[in-house]
Amino acid sequence: MSTPTSASGTASLSRQRRLETMERNWRLFRKNRQALVGLSILIIASAVGILAPALVSNSSIDPAAATGIPNSAPSGHAWLGTDSFGRSVFALLLVGARVSLLVGLTATAGAVLIGATIGLVGGYYAGRRIDKVLSALTDMFLVIPWLVLAIVMAAILGPTLLNVIIVIAITSWAMTARLVRAQTLSVRALPFVERARALGANDWRIITRHILPNVFPVIFANAVLTVAVAILSETTLSILGLGDATAISWGRIIEEAFSGGAMANGYWWWIVPPGLAIISVTLAFTMCGYALDEILNPKLRKR
C-alpha cells in the first residue's frame, strides 16, 4: 500500500470505475426522452447566453441609442417587434439568456455550497451538538416563507445583481442541506468509512475523499433542480422591481413591459417571448433534474 506504484494503481482503478459509472449513467440518461429534450434546450440557451455579446451590440440594447420604431409589432425588420424604447425584443431576449442563466447558476452554486457543507458536517457529526444546531437552522429555513424573506432581504440590501444572487442563495439552501445530511448518514454507516478511519484518516479526509464522492450524485441532481427554482425566483424579484436595473434578464424584460404599459396597449410581443423563454429553460432544468434523480438515486429507478 505504501509503495508509489500500487498507490497510483488504486487511483487509476478508481478513476476507471468512475468513468464506467459515468458511461452507464449517460446511457440511462440518453434513453430518457424528456431528459434529452431538456438537455438540448439547455445547450441552446447556454450557447445563446455565451455568445450574446457577439450577437447583440451594446448600442442596440441601450435605451438611449436604440434606432427601431418604438412599440412596433413583429415584422421582417424586427422578428419579435420592439419595446417602447425602440429596442428589438429579440435582441433583449438573447441578452436576457445570459443574465438569467448567470443568476440561476451562480445562485444555485452558492445555495449548494452552503447546503452541502451544512448537510455533510451535520450528517457526519450526527447526534452531536453541532449537528443539532445545523439541523435546527435548516428546519427554520425550511419553515420560513422563503419568497417573502427573499423580498425583504432584497429590498433592504438594494437592487444589484450580486445581491439578487446572494438573496436567492441564502433562501434556497435548506432543502439541499436536508437531502445531503440524510445521504451522508447512510454513507457514513458503510464499511469503507470505518476502514478509512482504521487506517488513520482524519475527519476532513474522510468527509472530502470518502463521503463527498458518494454523496455527490445526490448533490448534483438536486443542484440541477435548484437552478429551475433560482431562475423563477430571479424572475419574481425582477418583476417586483428588486432586480438590477442595468442587467437585462428575462424577468427584467417582463417588468419593463409591465411598467411600460404593454398590457394596457396589448403589446403582447413584448411580454410573451421572455415568459416562454423562462418556462422552457425552467422546464428543461426540471426535466434533466428528474432524470438525474432517477438515475443517480437507485431507489427511484424502478418507478
Helix, strand, coil percentages for the chain (3-state, nearest 5): 80, 0, 20
Among 153, 211, 230, 248, binds other proteins (CB under 8 A): 153
- Determine if 158 is a binding residue for other proteins (CB under 8 A): yes
For residue 116, which of 5, 214, 4, 256 has the smallest C-alpha distance? 214
Position among 151, 193, 230, 288 found at the interface with other proteins (CB under 8 A): 151
Looking at 157, 185, 196, 201, which residue binds other proteins (CB under 8 A)? 157
* Minimum separation from the CB atom of position 181 to other proteins (A): 17
Considering the rule CB under 8 A, would residue 161 count as an interface residue with other proteins? Answer: no
Place of cell 440561476: 104
Find the binder of other proteins among 7, 19, 73, 144 (CB under 8 A). Answer: 144
Q: What is 225-255 written as a DSSP string?
A: HHHHHHHHHHHHHHHTT-S-TTS--HHHHHH
Asked if 299 touches other proteins (CB under 8 A), the answer is no
Instruction: Tell the smallest beta-carbon distance from residue 46 to other proteins (Å).
Output: 18
Torsional sign, CA 212, 213, 216, 218: negative
- Residue from 41, 32, 36 nearest 276 by CA: 41
Contacting residues for 128 by C-beta, under 8 A, at least 6 apart: none
Q: Is 137 helix (H, G, I), strand (E, B) or coil?
A: helix
Residues binding other proteins: number (CB under 8 A):
44
Nearer CB in complex with other proteins: 156/198 = 156
Residues 219-248 that bind other proteins (CB under 8 A): 228, 232, 235-236, 239-242
As a whole number of angstroms, the distance between CA 70 and CA 85 comes to 5
Q: Determine, following the binding rule CB under 8 A, whether residue 44 of this chain makes contact with other proteins.
A: no
The answer to the question of residue 169 lying near other proteins (CB under 8 A) is no
| Candidate ranges 65-73, 198-206, 271-279, 293-301; the one touching other proteins (CB under 8 A) | 271-279
Q: Is 155 in the site for other proteins (CB under 8 A)?
A: yes
